[in-house]
C-alpha cells in the first residue's frame, strides 16, 4: 500500500513474539507516488503464493500478464529487526489499515521463526475497495479505488485495474423512504480519478441517503459506502 492509500501515514504493522511486541515502521519512499513496480515473476523468499495483480493479455496478443510486485525502493513495506529466538517459534504479524468508517481493518498473519533463518519477507494482501464521495450536479457519483490507493483506469497502456472489471451500484433513498436503484458507469472523459456516475432519475425526490456498492468481478473484492445528504 503506497502513497495513494487512505490515511497512509497511519498504517501500523506489529510483530508479536516471545521477546515482546515490536513495531515495524511502515515507510513510503518520499516523492514516489506509486505502490511498486510490476513484475512477471514471484518475489523470491516471500510467504505469499498468490498473484497480487492480473492484467489480461490484449486482443492483439501483444503484451504479457503481470502478476506480482517487485521488491525494490518503490515498494512500500514495514521493516524491522528482532533478536531471533533460540528455538523454532510461531509468531504473529498484525497489520492495521485505516478505513473511512473510522475503524481500522485488522489482519493477522502467522510466521514460523527459525534460528537457522535470519531474514523473512512476508506479503499481506489487503482486501477491499476504497470508496469516497464525489459531488456532481445532477448525478449520483462515487470514486472507486483499490485499498492500496491505485485508481481504476482504461488504458492504454494496459490498466492494472481495468474499469470493465468493476460493477458499481447505488441505492438512493429519498426523504419519504422510497428507494431507487442506480447502475453507475465509469466516466471515460477522465482517465485517472476512478469516477463512476449516473444521472438522477427525472422523478428523483429529495435524497436522504445513498448506499454505494462496488464489486471487482474477477476476484469478488468489494467495498461499500453510505453517504447521508
Q: Is residue 119 part of a domain?
A: no
In the sheet that holds 89-97, the strands lie side by side as: 20-23, 12-17, 89-97, 105-113
Residues 98 and 70 in one domain: yes
Q: Is residue 118 part of a domain?
A: no
Q: Is residue 23 part of a domain?
A: yes
Check residue 119 and give its pLDDT.
84
Tens digit of each residue's pLDDT (9 = 90 or more) over 95-126: 999 887 778 999 998 888 888 888 887 878 78
What is the mean predicted confidence (pLDDT) over 136-150? 89
Number of domains observed in the structure of the chain: 2
Residues 109 and 12 in one domain: yes
State which of 54, 85, 113 marks the end of a domain: 113
Whether pTM exceeds 0.85: no
Check residue 24 and give its pLDDT.
92
pLDDT > 90? residue 137: no
Query: Distance of CA 101 to CAs 96, 126, 131, 221, 223, Å?
Result: 14, 16, 11, 17, 11
Residues 171 and 197 in one domain: yes
In percent, the amount of the chain with pLDDT more than 70 equals: 78
Which band of pLDDT confidence, cut at 50, 70 and 90, is reported for residue 39? low
Tens digit of each residue's pLDDT (9 = 90 or more) over 156-207: 666 778 888 899 999 999 999 999 999 999 998 876 789 999 999 988 899 9
If one compares 126 and 38, the residue with the highest pLDDT of the two is: 126
Measure the CA–CA gap between 202 and 200, rounded to whole angstroms: 6
Residues 45 and 140 in one domain: no
Residues 91 and 23 in one domain: yes
Residues 206 and 174 in one domain: yes
Q: Is residue 208 part of a domain?
A: yes
State which of 113, 143, 163 marks the end of a domain: 113
Residues 12 and 109 in one domain: yes
Residues 100 and 196 in one domain: no
Residue bearing cell 494482501? 125
Check residue 96 and give its pLDDT.
94
CATH of residue 217's domain is: 2.60.40
- Structural domain including 73 reads 8-113
Which band of pLDDT confidence, cut at 50, 70 and 90, is reported for residue 58? very low
Check residue 32 and give its pLDDT.
66
Q: Are 172 and 140 in contact (CB under 8 A)?
A: yes
Which band of pLDDT confidence, cut at 50, 70 and 90, is reported for residue 149? confident
Amino acid at each position: 500500500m503506497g502513497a495513494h492509500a487512505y490515511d497512509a501515514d497511519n498504517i501500523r504493522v506489529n510483530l508479536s513474539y516471545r521477546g515482546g511486541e515490536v513495531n515495524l515502521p511502515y515507510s513510503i519512499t518520499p516523492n514516489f507516488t506509486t505502490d511498486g513496480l510490476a513484475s512477471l515473476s514471484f518475489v523470491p523468499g516471500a510467504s505469499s503464493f498468490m498473484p497480487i495483480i492480473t492484467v489480461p493479455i490484449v486482443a492483439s496478443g501483444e503484451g504479457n500478464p503481470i502478476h506480482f510486485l517487485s521488491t525494490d525502493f518503490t515498494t512500500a513495506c514495514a521493516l524491522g529487526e528482532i533478536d531471533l529466538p533460540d528455538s523454532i517459534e510461531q509468531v504473529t504479524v498484525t497489520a492495521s489499515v485505516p478505513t473511512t468508517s473510522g475503524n481500522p481493518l485488522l489482519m493477522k498473519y502467522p510466521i514460523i521463526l527459525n534460528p537457522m533463518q535470519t531474514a523473512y519477507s512476508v506479503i499481506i494482501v489487503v482486501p477491499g475497495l476504497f470508496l469516497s464521495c464525489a459531488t456532481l450536479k445532477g448525478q449520483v457519483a462515487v470514486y472507486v479505488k483499490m485499498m492500496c490507493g491505485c485508481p481504476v483506469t482504461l488504458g492504454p497502456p494496459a490498466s492494472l485495474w481495468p474499469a470493465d472489471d468493476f460493477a458499481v451500484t447505488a441505492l438512493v433513498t429519498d426523504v419519504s423512504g422510497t428507494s431507487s436503484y442506480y447502475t453507475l458507469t465509469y466516466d471515460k472523459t477522465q482517465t485517472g480519478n476512478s469516477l463512476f456516475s449516473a444521472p438522477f432519475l427525472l422523478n428523483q425526490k429529495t435524497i436522504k441517503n445513498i448506499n454505494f456498492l462496488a464489486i471487482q468481478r474477477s476476484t469478488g473484492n468489494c467495498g461499500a459506502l453510505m453517504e447521508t445528504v
